[in-house]
Amino acid sequence: MTTASATLDEDRLDETFAALASATRRAILARLAQGEASVNDLAEPFNLTLPAISKHIKVLERAGLITRGRRAQFRPCTIAAEPLAEIADWTAQYRHIWDDRFDRLDDYVSNLQAQELQAQQQATKET
């Protein structure tokens, strides 16, 4: 990967993470994961004005997380999965760290359980 494309990829990740930093925008994406929706549909569960929701939608659109279509007067929003896949790819490089930590935790719990079983067996022998 060239430095220019690496910078573009990093910029895109930065923009995607920044868009996902808002709980409102994450909730909008969660709603769009169920299917396309209008701005009014997306605004319904929030105590926000339509202009405020529109700003959130524009942030998501700039980050490439949603697209807006056009059918007559209706401009439905739909989720765009590619930036989310890029985040999944980026986080996958750290998966081995969590796998190692979970393996160590599993070993620790197994050792505790073995010690507890030994203690129970010892207590049974003494009675």
Q: pTM of this prediction?
A: 0.69
Pairing type for strands 77-79 and 66-68 reads antiparallel
CATH of the structural domain 3-93, one choice from 2.40.240.10, 1.10.1740.10, 1.10.10.10, 1.10.150.120:
1.10.10.10
Query: How confident is the model over 70-79, as pLDDT tens digits?
Result: 877 778 999 9
Environment class of residue 32 by beta-carbon count within 10 Å: exposed (0-12), middle (13-18) or buried (19+)? buried
Helix 3-20 crosses helix 82-92 at what angle (to 10 degrees)? Answer: 110
Question: Do residues 107 and 99 touch, judged by C-beta distance below 8 A?
Answer: no
Q: pLDDT value at position 126? A: 80
Give the least confident one: 21-35, 68-82, 92-106. 68-82
Domain ranges (residues) in the chain: 3-93, 94-127
Grade residue 2 by pLDDT with cuts at 50, 70 and 90. Answer: low
* Buried/exposed 87-97: b ≥16 CB within 10 Å, e otherwise: eeeeeeeeeee
Q: pLDDT value at position 32? A: 96
